[in-house]
A and B are shown apart, each in its own frame.
Chain A
């Protein structure tokens, strides 16, 4: 089992993830502020809302550009920044900072912008005269020129093969 020593900040309503490990402390932080859900991070910090209040889950590409449903100060990056500062202060207080190389690794989430990416891809293809949409011979040479690497070797110049190979993996309802 996952060590339970650090469970004190978690509420009794903690929902375990499929691995059996406890949910991150950030979920308890959100619950304490009234943002309750089975997965508060996903439900509040990683989802937007439509004009009618409909949940717009941020895992879906079409909602990637939506604002989170919580105020900025409660969103993930500011929270983690404060946790980092807490860690530094705690390290100083309990003497950990006297140990050489007290290391803090803080990861800030850089949101993927898949919709922007798609627009960018389409724009680039328009500008360059999309070889995937040119005639067969032209297309083959164009694809070879553009994909002169493992992808081309692997998939050949079949229309759509290369294109499929680099399509983002996220489900996009607009693509169905």
Chain B
């Protein structure tokens, strides 16, 4: 990661690149007496989702934690929306920005933590 971030910085891309660090799933690691990721406990579903938004608009929330429920399926429309595109109909219609604003995400399956979006 450090090598990659240094590379972006050296090429002057940091200010125009949104960096998202996440994982496809967690692991019980023995919690609830289970291994792997089969059910929707926090150990499986509460994965890190760190968003580095380079825009000035994110300055106010930079470094903060948001516990809104979001899903990985929302990543693509979020990226497209962020960069001014139109997400195709096959995409989830929910971007993180909407998810955060609405705060009405109980029932969504994956839970993430959003920093600084």
Contacts and interface: CB of A to CB of B under 8 A. Distances in A.
Interface of A: 81, 84-85, 88-89, 92, 100-101, 103, 106, 108, 110, 112, 114, 117-118, 120-121, 123-125, 146-147, 149-151, 162-163, 166-169
20 contacts: A81-B4, A85-B7, A88-B7, A88-B8, A88-B13, A92-B11, A100-B84, A101-B80, A101-B83, A117-B27, A120-B29, A121-B35, A124-B31, A124-B33, A125-B33, A146-B32, A147-B33, A162-B33, A166-B36, A166-B38
A167 B35 contact: yes
Contacts of A85: 3-4, 7
Given A103-B79, A117-B35, A81 B30 contact: no
A134 B1 CA distance: 47
Contacts of A149: 39
Nearest to A149: B39
A108 B82 CA distance: 24
Interface of B: 1, 3-4, 7-8, 11, 13, 23, 27-36, 38-39, 79-80, 82-85
Contacts of A121: 30, 33, 35
Chief secondary structure at chain B's binding surface: loop
A113 to B, nearest CB: 9
B79 A101 contact: yes
The 9 closest A-B CB pairs, nearest first, are: A101-B83, A166-B34, A121-B30, A120-B30, A100-B83, A168-B35, A124-B30, A85-B7, A117-B35
A128 to B, nearest CB: 9
Contacts of B84: 100
